Amino acid sequence: MSDFSAIRSSYVQAAYSKAAETKPKPADANPATADFSTMVSNAAAQAVETVRTGDQMAIAGLNGQAGLQQVVEATMAMESTVQVSVALRDKLVEAYQDIMRMPI
């Protein structure tokens, strides 16, 4: 079980560092022409940015540099983003498992 958590942790760290290196691209002028992978990539980058902002705001609140209202708003946005990400991951895993159960 520790091997799985180590692999998962390394993937999370790799994704986090990759997102830190790249900035999200501006949205296409015509969203109908954007492909699915671009849409998912942009959504993931925005989710990582929201989580980072929440972390930074919590640290600023602990240091007394941000107000309580700002910290709560950033934390709630971060929590919402994490919940949506987990729900999406669960749906993707469920879809993958359904595909793997299909007879050939």
CA distance 56 to 52: 6
Assess contact for 80 and 47: CB atoms under 8 A: no
Question: pLDDT, tens digit, for every residue of 5-40?
Answer: 555 555 556 665 666 665 555 554 555 667 888 988
- Among all chains, which residue has been given the structure tokens 């359904």? 98
Question: pLDDT, tens digit, for every residue of 37-46?
Answer: 898 889 889 9
Angle between helices 68-101 and 36-62 (to 10 degrees): 150
**pTM (two decimals):** 0.58
Note the pLDDT of residue 2. 47
Tell me the two tokens of residue 31.
């969203």
CA distance 18 to 45: 10
Tell me the two tokens of residue 21.
């290196």
In the chain, what percentage of residues exceed pLDDT 70? 68
